[in-house]
Amino acid sequence: MEDAEIALMFSLLVIPVAIWLQLWVKERREKRKNTVGEEEFPSTGAALFSILLEGTAIVGGLIMIIMGLSGVVKYVIKFYV
């Protein structure tokens, strides 16, 4: 395989991982909701840890989506335009 095809393969593999990461954060937030619909944390430390973990996951997932889609677009432009 050539380098462009390997890059395309990795780009296509990154996109489902990034989507899974976004769904994981959403599921994690829904588990913390009470009957009123507000998020509850057992302590301030748990809230800070959750904010850092979920924030990093969201930003990292979005970066992975952007990188994956740009790899696909680069491949299409290089070989089909």
List pLDDT tens digits, range 2-42: 788 898 999 999 999 999 999 999 999 999 998 888 888 99
Q: What is the pLDDT of residue 35?
A: 86
pLDDT band at 1 (very low <50, low <70, confident <90, very high): low
**Average pLDDT across the chain, whole number:** 92
Q: Which long-range contacts (CB under 8 A, 24 or more apart) does 69-78 make?
A: 69/11, 69/15, 70/11, 71/7, 71/8, 71/10, 71/11, 71/14, 72/8, 72/11, 72/12, 74/7, 75/4, 75/5, 75/7, 75/8, 75/11, 78/4
Give residue limits of the domains in the chain. 3-80
